[in-house]
């Protein structure tokens, strides 16, 4: 096979997508309503009919086009884009808000809720005292 000719082995593409999704053959087999041996045979097939491909794509949570156009190089390039941003350290993105401001907003909301709860308890106690005094 020439290095210019790319393999279009659909079964291998299904296998790689399944592996990238951290799915075992048994899990895919269960989703397809078949057994592990059938999935193994499917992954060894160079071509797969469209109806079966649609089922497999649905079970893997991808589109048929994603399976047909899948390549290891494209997947590697996709994941490498996460490391190219100079402000993206360890998968953290720049915040568009100040986390301390959000924390303080939450503290203020909790304080207001507590005050309302305390007032409700006072009202309940006043009501109960009033009932006791009436007897």
Q: What is the mean pLDDT of residues 74-90?
A: 59
Same domain, 73 and 112: no
What confidence score (pLDDT) does residue 35 get? 94
Residues near 50 by beta carbon (within 8 Å), at least 6 away in sequence: 64
Same domain, 78 and 99: no
Q: From residue 73, give the alpha-carbon distance in Å to each of 1, 6, 69, 76.
A: 19, 12, 11, 5
Judge contact between 43 and 10, C-beta under 8 A.
no
- Give the chain's domain count: 2
Same domain, 111 and 49: no
Residues near 54 by beta carbon (within 8 Å), at least 6 away in sequence: 64
pLDDT in tens, 16-45: 889 888 889 999 999 999 999 999 999 999
Tell me: pLDDT of 106 over 50: yes
Same domain, 21 and 70: yes
> 116 falls in which pLDDT band (50, 70, 90)?
very high
Tell me: pLDDT of 91 over 60: no
Q: What is the mean pLDDT of residues 83-94?
A: 52
């Amino acid at each position: 096979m020439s290095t210019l000719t790319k393999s279009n082995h659909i079964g291998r593409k299904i296998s790689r997508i399944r592996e990238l999704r951290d799915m075992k053959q048994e899990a895919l087999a269960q989703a397809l309503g078949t057994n592990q041996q059938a999935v193994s045979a499917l992954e060894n097939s160079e071509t797969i009919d469209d109806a079966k491909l649609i089922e497999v794509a649905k079970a893997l949570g991808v589109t048929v086009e994603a399976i047909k156009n899948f390549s290891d190089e494209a997947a590697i390039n996709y994941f490498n884009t996460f490391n190219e941003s100079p402000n993206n350290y360890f998968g953290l993105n720049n915040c568009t808000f100040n986390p301390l401001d959000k924390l303080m907003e939450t503290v203020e909301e909790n304080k207001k809720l507590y005050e309302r709860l305390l007032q409700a308890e006072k009202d309940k106690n006043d009501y109960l005292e009033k009932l006791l005094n009436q007897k």
